[in-house]
């Protein structure tokens, strides 16, 4: 029983329930009822980290000084590996001492960046739909969130000309993410260049989330914000090893780019945490240095699953184009229903977990996101259950 005088901070009252936490509650109830769940809700990769990464962690555990507090700015070796990875992948030069900062996963860094830079009442522009931490982090910091609605008519791309002049002039930060979660949209370099030009004109900080840098298909190479001339003057980019290397539970990511912005985040983090376990940094360093064959295997896995599911969904009335990147499908819900009701109906009738699109903001209403985190035989079971239950578009 909670005492009446124990009151949560107002910043928590402004936050709706985190959808994935709510989904966990519903999944637990379904399991209690004996339902065989097929969970395509969270972007939680199946499988283990590559064997060399696991071996690197095992060996690092035998290094005595790795068991002490790590350097606040991360180990020199890991920062060097990050800068070399960016040079190799994007031909972007980074100073590993000032322009690179390891994180306890990118979600931690994305949310803490807002605490480092947002004052109560500051305007932060966030596309809708978006990965929830892009707007929840600023909301916790007291920001006024301006939702920039993305539409299928514009291929879910940002059009900065649609941002009102008054909003642009008072905006402090623009968060964005391509390849995009949840819509799977990919953006051309020209869109990045337009955003950089706009941000420089209005003096807006850019925060780009490149979580799906490596999960791209058929030769497509996602764009790094830092490839755009002048972007490093005003922006930073976040990356995570969760998806590419099956390291979601390891909680390892990093931010790169503008040294002043990174220094502000580092200053905040020195007051909140002691940094990333050095053993995990050693394993992550190994991951970034793996040959491309590991990346190609991951890409092929998600490509095959996506194509398999799209082919089966076509028989149920959905006509989807294969995504060029990410590990998701973005499905419109049937007419005369909404995202939440459809997701609940699918869970209750078939035991399949999908994420309602409105969990990513109002711009996601009318869609659900499916994560490609099950193998094709299990996805065939999804399709069979939907057909048996009359789930159609």
User: Which pLDDT score is estimated for 31?
Assistant: 75
**Distance between CA atoms of residues 348 and 119, nearest Å:** 43
369 neighbors 354 (Cβ within 8 angstroms): yes
What stretches of 4-159 show up as alpha helix (H) in DSSP? 10-13, 19-32, 51-60, 76-90, 106-117, 133-140
Q: Is the pTM above the cut of 0.85?
A: yes
User: Which pLDDT score is estimated for 19?
Assistant: 65
Closest CA to 179 of 141, 210, 139: 210
Pick the CATH number of 51-288 from 3.40.50.1820, 3.40.640.10, 3.20.20.300, 3.40.50.720: 3.40.640.10
The alpha carbon dihedral of 9, 149, 108, 205 has a sign of negative
* Cα–Cα distance list, 363 to 2, 20, 146, 354 (Å): 37, 18, 12, 17
Nearest 5°: phi and psi at 182?
-105, -5
How do residues 322-352 score in pLDDT, each as one tens digit? 999 999 999 999 998 999 999 999 998 999 9
99 neighbors 254 (Cβ within 8 angstroms): no
Tokens of 390: 């009359």
User: Which pLDDT score is estimated for 21?
Assistant: 67
Strand ranges for the chain from DSSP E: 38-39, 100-103, 123-128, 144-149, 171-176, 205-209, 235-240, 253-257, 328-332, 352-353, 355-356, 367-371
Tokens of 225: 């914000």
User: Which pLDDT score is estimated for 270?
Assistant: 93
Give me the residues paired with residue 38 across strands. 352
DSSP secondary structure string, 248-260? Answer: GGG--EEEEE-HH
Cα radius of gyration rounded to whole Å, the chain: 21
* Cα–Cα distance list, 355 to 176, 328, 358 (Å): 20, 11, 9
**Distance between CA atoms of residues 182 and 371, nearest Å:** 10
Give me the residues paired with residue 171 across strands. 123
Q: How confident is the model at residue 2 (pLDDT cuts 50, 70, 90)?
A: low
Cβ atoms within 10 A of the Cβ of 315, count? 11
User: Is 90 exceeded by the pLDDT of residue 29?
Assistant: no
**Distance between CA atoms of residues 338 and 320, nearest Å:** 19
SS3 365: coil
368 neighbors 329 (Cβ within 8 angstroms): no
Q: How much is the average pLDDT of 256-273?
A: 95
Helices 76-90 and 278-288: angle between axes, nearest 10 degrees? 20
Give me the residues paired with residue 331 across strands. 368
Q: Which long-range contacts (CB under 8 A, 24 or more apart) does 12-15 make?
A: 14/139, 15/136, 15/139, 15/140
Q: Where are the domains of the chain?
A: 10-48+293-389, 51-288
**Distance between CA atoms of residues 242 and 253, nearest Å:** 8
Instruction: Specify whether domain 10-48+293-389 bears CATH 3.90.1150.10.
Output: yes
182 neighbors 209 (Cβ within 8 angstroms): no
How do residues 282-337 score in pLDDT, each as one tens digit? 999 999 999 999 999 999 999 999 999 999 999 999 999 999 999 999 999 999 89
User: Is 70 exceeded by the pLDDT of residue 391?
Assistant: yes
Preceding amide of 179 cis, omega within 30: yes
366 neighbors 308 (Cβ within 8 angstroms): no
User: Is 60 exceeded by the pLDDT of residue 1?
Assistant: no
User: Which pLDDT score is estimated for 25?
Assistant: 75
How do residues 242-262 score in pLDDT, each as one tens digit? 999 999 999 999 999 999 999
**Distance between CA atoms of residues 206 and 358, nearest Å:** 24
Mean pLDDT of the chain: 93
């Amino acid at each position: 029983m909670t005492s009446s005088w124990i009151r949560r901070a107002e910043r928590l009252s402004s936050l709706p329930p985190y959808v994935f936490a709510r989904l966990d509650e519903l999944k637990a109830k379904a399991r209690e009822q004996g339902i065989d769940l097929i969970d395509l809700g969270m972007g939680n990769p199946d499988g283990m980290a590559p064997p060399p990464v696991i071996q690197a962690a095992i060996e690092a555990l035998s290094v005595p000084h790795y068991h002490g507090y790590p350097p606040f700015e991360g180990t020199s070796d890991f920062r060097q590996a990050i800068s070399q990875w960016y040079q190799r992948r994007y031909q972007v030069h980074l100073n590993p001492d000032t322009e690179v900062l390891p994180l306890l996963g990118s979600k931690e860094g994305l949310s803490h960046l807002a605490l480092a830079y947002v004052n109560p009442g500051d305007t932060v522009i966030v596309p809708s739909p978006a990965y929830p931490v892009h707007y929840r982090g600023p909301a916790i910091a007291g920001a006024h969130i301006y939702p920039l609605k993305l539409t299928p008519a514009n291929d879910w791309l940002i059009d900065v000309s649609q941002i009102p002049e008054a909003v642009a002039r008072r905006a402090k930060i623009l968060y964005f993410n391509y390849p995009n979660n949840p819509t799977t949209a990919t953006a051309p370099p020209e869109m990045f260049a337009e955003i950089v030009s706009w941000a420089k004109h209005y003096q807006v900080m850019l925060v780009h989330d490149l979580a799906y840098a490596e999960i791209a298909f058929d030769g497509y190479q996602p764009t790094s914000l830092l490839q755009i001339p002048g972007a490093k003057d005003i922006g930073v980019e976040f990356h995570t090893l969760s998806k590419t290397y099956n390291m979601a539970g390891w909680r390892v990511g990093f931010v790169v780019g503008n040294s002043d912005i990174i220094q502000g985040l580092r200053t905040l983090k020195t007051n909140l945490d002691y940094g990333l376990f050095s053993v995990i940094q050693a394993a992550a360093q190994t991951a970034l240095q793996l040959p491309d064959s590991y990346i190609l295997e991951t890409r092929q896995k998600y490509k095959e699953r996506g194509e398999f599911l799209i082919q089966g969904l076509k028989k149920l009335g959905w006509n989807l184009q294969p995504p060029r990147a990410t590990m998701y499908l973005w499905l419109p819900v049937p007419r005369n229903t909404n995202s939440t009701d459809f997701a609940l109906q699918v869970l209750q009738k078939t035991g399949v977990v999908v994420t309602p699109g409105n969990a990513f903001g109002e711009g996601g209403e009318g869609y659900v996101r499916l994560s490609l985190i099950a193998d094709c035989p299990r996805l065939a079971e999804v399709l069979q259950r939907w057909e048996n239950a009359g789930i159609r578009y």
